Amino acid sequence: MRTPILAANWKMHKTVGEAVAFAKAFVPLVAGVANAEIVVAPPFTALAAVGAALAGSNVKLAAQNAHFEKQGAFTGEVSPPMLADLGCAYAIVGHSERRALFGEPSELVAKKAAALLAHGIRPIVCVGETLDEREAGRTFAVLESQLDGSLASVDGGRAAEVVIAYEPVWAIGTGRTATPEIAQEAHAMIRSWLGKRFGGAAAQMRIQYGGSVKPDNTAQLMAQTDIDGALVGGASLEAESFAKIVAASA
């Protein structure tokens, strides 16, 4: 039985004050939820303050990115030990915005995922096809190539700690959610790939769906066999909205 995992990706939104106000409003709304893992990924600037506001709650802290080195001359970057020091339990890597806007290839995502695991942080590894790739019938080939590359350095013994987020690029921030059937088809393909790569651990690995998840479409998505949670952007920016998504999944 896989525990559903719901993660809020705030992207480049919220000042420290706004982020803490969210945490204070959100924690009581989900305090009774025991059968789902709840994660919030604020921008780097708000990690410390949100971490403090979440202390003692059932909501975990995540980063939206990480460098793969421990320290060094990498201006503007933040390392896994720095994130561990702030109490991050998870970090998102390979988000389509980082792949498309910042040119991050899967080989770099793989280095980040391995470095995070080495420092006790669980990576949420994002994969997903563009609309052109889907329309050209290349969805599975694209997913396979992203999985091959991004998980290349994950040791089989640690596989169950890795979360995969299937996020079709055409559904992110567009209001156009994948139908539950389309999402399930991709999730089943991903689980089968995980089975070939990691064997029995694939049955324990969580695969989140991401792309215009909202309170009113969550339950249908979560009812699919291979959908184990959601990575939520826009609808996670308000405490009540994200709490409804958690409630619909737990």
User: Does the CA dihedral 173-178-184-189 come out positive or negative?
Assistant: negative
Enumerate the H helices of 154-216 as residue ranges.
180-198
What number of residues does the chain have? 250
Under the criterion CB under 6 A, does residue 211 sit at the interface with ligand PEP?
yes
Sole binder of ligand PEP in the list 17, 105, 173, 200 (CB under 6 A): 173
Pick left, alpha or beta for residue 66 (phi over 0 → left; psi -120 to 50 → alpha; otherwise beta): beta
Closest residue by beta carbon to ligand PEP: 233
First to last CA, the chain: 13
Q: Catalytic: 67? A: no
Question: What is the C-alpha to C-alpha distance for residues 198 and 118, in angstroms, rounded to an integer?
Answer: 18
CB of 167 to ligand PEP, least distance (A): 5
Under the criterion CB under 6 A, does residue 9 sit at the interface with ligand PEP?
yes
Q: Catalytic: 95? A: yes
User: Which pair of tokens denotes residue 54?
Assistant: 């979440």
Sole binder of ligand PEP in the list 213, 221, 239, 245 (CB under 6 A): 213
Pairing of strands 229-232, 88-93: unpaired
Question: What is the C-alpha to C-alpha distance for residues 111 and 153, in angstroms, rounded to an integer?
Answer: 7
Under the criterion CB under 6 A, does residue 208 sit at the interface with ligand PEP?
no
Under the criterion CB under 6 A, does residue 125 sit at the interface with ligand PEP?
no
Q: Which stretch binds ligand PEP (CB under 6 A): 23-31, 68-76, 116-124, 225-233?
A: 225-233
Under the criterion CB under 6 A, does residue 129 sit at the interface with ligand PEP?
no
User: Which pair of tokens denotes residue 150?
Assistant: 């991004």
Q: Which of 71, 174 has the CB closer to ligand PEP?
A: 174
**Residue 231: helix, strand or coil by DSSP?**
strand
The vertex-75 CA angle with 108 and 46, nearest 5°, equals 85
CB of 146 to ligand PEP, least distance (A): 15
Sole binder of ligand PEP in the list 232, 243, 245, 248 (CB under 6 A): 232
Sole binder of ligand PEP in the list 40, 41, 202, 231 (CB under 6 A): 231
User: Are the C-beta atoms of 229 and 7 separated by less than 8 Å?
Assistant: yes
Q: Which of 4, 210 has the CB closer to ligand PEP?
A: 210
Q: Which of 124, 201 has the CB closer to ligand PEP?
A: 124
Under the criterion CB under 6 A, does residue 123 sit at the interface with ligand PEP?
no
User: Are the C-beta atoms of 215 and 245 separated by less than 8 Å?
Assistant: yes
User: Of the listed 97, 129, 133, 167, which one is catalytic?
Assistant: 167
DSSP state of 201: G
CB of 169 to ligand PEP, least distance (A): 10
> Hey, which residues are catalytic here?
95, 167
Interface contacts to ligand PEP, rule CB under 6 A: 9, 167, 172-173, 210-213, 231-235
